[in-house]
Amino acid sequence: MNDTPSSSPELSGTSTPARSDSTDNPALEVRHIRKAFRQRRGEMQVLDDLSLAVQPGEFVSIIGPSGSGKSTLFHIIGGLMPPGAGSVHMDGRDVTGQKGLIAYMPQQPALFPWRTVEDNVMLPEELRGVSKTQARANARQWIERAGLGGFEKAYPHTLSGGMQQRASFLRALMSPQEVMCLDEPFSALDALTRSEMQHWLLDIWEDTRRSVLMITHHIEEALLLSDSIYILSARPGTVLQKIEVPFPRPRREDILTDPAFLALKSDISSIMRQEQQKRQQVST
């Protein structure tokens, strides 16, 4: 069976954008993105003049009401969908419409069921031409680091949801692309497993410092993980506010009860409620 996927951005190509000599360029920047979809009753505007940036080694989250175009934005960034207007840049280069330039982790693990955990994790390096021996050795190191030691030969259907998500994240991590896009990676997990995965991701990210752009509806998750947060409006999605998260790293669980953390969480929640009310008014 063919192992080459047709739609996953992290595996749709193996080239990476040439890095600029300048250190001032964001790892990822989207500029004035607009997107509309044709419908029987006319066009539906999904994104409207949306701009944001992820600096090298920065963890950025996007939060916004359902239907505000967050996943559409990821499809544009990954080159799977053209914007109606605007552009996507990496390290200063216009890469609009180009595929294979990001590592992508969807809401569901999307592991290949016929491949073991080890074979799934090592796949990106195999596609890059790394020898199977070396790719397997690298995969095993990360599998052990991820707490999946002993499950190298297990198939995805035998794993819990949290274990599948760890393997899926490791596969994205093994991709050579500098920028990782995470689309609500923990939304399908129960509350306890989600909390465990958030802290696990923090530990892994502290080691690698990859440039990350994550979609989430979970305000606490965004504050715990992120350096900055973009709050989107209701459809058509545009940036309402950018928040620089003030809490120092490394972050631990006790930050969740810090008064400053709770106050910022409340402020963001208030903005989100207002946008949700606007969306309900428009729909009625």
Question: What is the average pLDDT value for the chain, to the nearest integer?
Answer: 85
- Give the pLDDT score at 280: 64
Across 33-59, average pLDDT: 90
- 116-156 pLDDT per residue, tens: 999 999 998 888 888 999 999 999 988 988 888 999 999 99
For 247, phi then psi, to 5°, come to -85, 135
Ordered DSSP codes for 158-225: GS-HHHHHHHHHHHHHTSS-SEEEEESTTTTS-HHHHHHHHHHHHHHHHHH--EEEEE-S-HHHHHHH
β pairing state of 59-63 and 228-232: parallel
- Alpha helix positions (H), the chain: 70-77, 117-127, 132-145, 161-173, 191-208, 219-225, 259-283
Across 152-162, average pLDDT: 91
Instruction: Give the fold, CATH level 3, of 24-101+179-252.
Output: Rossmann fold (3.40.50)
For CA atoms 14, 20, 21, 22, the dihedral sign is negative
Collect all residues with Cβ–Cβ distance below 8 Å to 276 and sequence separation of at least 6: 65, 234
Q: Alpha-carbon distance 36 to 85, whole Å? A: 10
| Residue in the structure block whose two tokens are 């996007």 | 62
- Give the pLDDT score at 284: 52
Q: Alpha-carbon distance 72 to 210, whole Å? A: 22
Collect all residues with Cβ–Cβ distance below 8 Å to 212 and sequence separation of at least 6: 54, 58, 59, 60, 179, 180, 181, 182, 205
- Which pTM was predicted? 0.83
- 82-115 pLDDT per residue, tens: 999 999 999 999 999 998 899 888 777 789 999 9
Residue 213: is its pLDDT beyond 60?
yes
Percent of the chain clearing pLDDT 70 (strictly above) = 89
Q: Alpha-carbon distance 278 to 8, whole Å? A: 34
DSSP 3-state of 77: helix
Residues in the chain: 284
DSSP 3-state of 114: coil
Domain ranges of the chain: 24-101+179-252, 112-176
Collect all residues with Cβ–Cβ distance below 8 Å to 190 and sequence separation of at least 6: 161
